[in-house]
Structure 1
Amino acid sequence: MNKHIAIIQHVPHEGPGRFLHLLREAGCRLSFYDLSKLLETPEPDSFDGCIVMGGPDSANDDTPKMRRMRAFTETVLEAGKPYLGICLGMQLLGRAAGGQVIRAPQKETGCLDEQGAPWRVHLNADGREDPVTSRLDASFPIFHLHGETVLPNENIRVLGEGTSCRVQIIRVGARAYGFQGHPEMTRTLFDLWKEKEPWMKHVQSRDFLRLEAAYISVVRNLIHGWLDLPGNN
């Protein structure tokens, strides 16, 4: 497989994590863009697919970075290129499709909810039939770090749902996907976020380690399904 995947970061510490190993394992060529260092995004005709990572910004921010990212996401949609947005990347996709990004009814952080149970995503009927998300279990645990959510419109197909924040996985058109959670998490990212993110202070490494095998299964099936999309080759 010789696909060229562009990876867009908003801050250095929210990188591709486990995506990196899986994409390299699949033989993909990778290019990296960190908008906190250089306000640059690639042209859609220069890559086969793109992954847009999370970050502390809001998709609603009136900043050069977010204006650039909103325009980039719109051009990727117009070009019909495969897109995978994580957290902020999903919210940018939602805005580009005409939805709204609003304050979440509850901040979702770390591995566990307020009752001490793992945060979970539940596929709905559309998600169970989708060519990418149908490769995932009907219900699976996810790592979270967000305070905003997408309010979908008729252009946005919701594929996965949560209990506190309903919209967890979206699809726009045939090839653009968004995940509110962080399937890319690794032990290295976890430790880095503990250092960098104030919301992570209460999150325990033992909970991450207990769920790590399940997280790995999710991200592996997600990436394989996404890479198999028509047009992502």
Structure 2
Amino acid sequence: MHVHLLQHSPHLGPARIGDWLDSMGHSHTVFHLDQGELPPRPGEGDALIVLDAPEDVPPADWARGERKLIERTLDGHKPLLGIGHGAKQIAEALGATISRGTLAETGWQTVTLAEASPFDLPERFEAFTWHREIFGLPEDALPLGGSAASPLQGFAWDAGRVVGLLCHLEATAESVTAMLDHLPRPAGDAESPHGQDREAMLDDPKRFDRLAPLLDRLLTQWLRTAPA
């Protein structure tokens, strides 16, 4: 299987996703939209992943082409996964509302799985977060679950073929360090009780190790929806 990934910042890359795809025998191509690369055509590739982007960034030249590709993929039969910005774009394309949350959420947060959640994940787990904006649950979608600051940390639509994640299961110590070094923190992070400082985010490397099996379970479940 060949997976296409859309990247919007040199500091918000695939992180552990690329290694997972390689280990499972899947090939992949990263399209660096922030560097002027055009997104792939809708009929190309076997699955699409739309990565995160910095919040509060004005619409860029790539925004229209990306939105069209998302809409065409929603209308098709190929797996579609969005993380952060990608999840918000998918949710909006499905008619959900995007809004600024009451509080920013950064660092490690406990996510509790929703009763109706279709995700193959533990009932409670830690995930990395970096956002202020949130989205509503699209019609006919099932919720992943939520944290104290964000009741909806993700959703699945069309029997799990389409997945949106607000949290970051793909995070590594290296990817988080890049975010901390180069990206502005989400608006209101300094005042939020759900914001962590750099030391708290990076002090326990085992937290990143514990994300790996969660990402594996989620991506495996997601790619099972690909047409035979």
Coarse TM-score class (shorter-chain normalised): 0.7 to 0.9
Are the equivalent residues in 1 in contact too, given 2:129–2:166 (CA < 8 A)? Answer: yes
In the aligned structure 1, how far is the partner of 2:46 from the partner of 2:172?
A: 25
Return structure 1 stretches of 4+ with deviation > 4 angstroms.
none
Specify whether residues 190 and 228 from structure 1 end up closer, same or farther in structure 2 by C-alpha distance, changes over 3 A only.
Answer: same
**From 216, 220, 224, the counterpart of 1:220:** 216
Are the equivalent residues in 2 in contact too, given 1:122–1:160 (CA < 8 A)? Answer: yes
Coordinate RMSD, CA, aligned = 2.0
- Could you state the TM-score of these two structures normalised by the residue count of structure 2? 0.87
Specify whether residues 18 and 153 from structure 1 end up closer, same or farther in structure 2 by C-alpha distance, changes over 3 A only.
Answer: closer
* 1:120 corresponding residue in structure 2: 110
Deviation for aligned residue 1:157: 2.5
| Structure 1 residues 3-152: aligned runs within 5 Å | 3-57=1-55, 62-111=59-108, 119-127=109-117, 130=118, 133-134=119-120, 136-152=121-137
What are the superposed Cα offsets for residues 5-42 of structure 1, whole Å, 9 maximum, x if unpaired? 00110111111010111100111111110110125111
* 2:190 corresponding residue in structure 1: none
Give unmatched runs, 5+ long, in structure 1: 112-118
Q: Does the residue aligned with 1:44 lie in a helix, a strand or coil? A: coil
In the aligned structure 1, how far is the partner of 2:115 from the partner of 2:51?
A: 27
Are the equivalent residues in 1 in contact too, given 2:5–2:48 (CA < 8 A)? Answer: yes
* 1:187 corresponding residue in structure 2: 173
For the pair 1:203 / 2:189, whether they are aligned, the reply is no
Are the equivalent residues in 2 in contact too, given 1:109–1:145 (CA < 8 A)? Answer: yes
Are the equivalent residues in 1 in contact too, given 2:173–2:202 (CA < 8 A)? Answer: no
- Could you state the TM-score of these two structures normalised by the residue count of structure 1? 0.85
Q: Name the structure where helix makes up a greater proportion of residues.
A: 1
Deviation for aligned residue 1:99: 0.6
Deviation for aligned residue 1:210: 4.1
Letter of the 2:84 counterpart: C
For the pair 1:167 / 2:156, whether they are aligned, the reply is no
In the aligned structure 2, how far is the partner of 1:48 from the partner of 1:206?
A: 35
Give unmatched runs, 5+ long, in structure 2: 187-195
Specify whether residues 105 and 208 from structure 1 end up closer, same or farther in structure 2 by C-alpha distance, changes over 3 A only.
Answer: farther
In the aligned structure 2, how far is the partner of 1:7 from the partner of 1:179?
A: 15
Q: Quick check: 160-169 or 203-212, which moved more?
A: 203-212
Deviation for aligned residue 1:57: 4.2
Are the equivalent residues in 2 in contact too, given 1:69–1:92 (CA < 8 A)? Answer: no
Are the equivalent residues in 2 in contact too, given 1:44–1:81 (CA < 8 A)? Answer: no
Deviation for aligned residue 1:70: 1.9
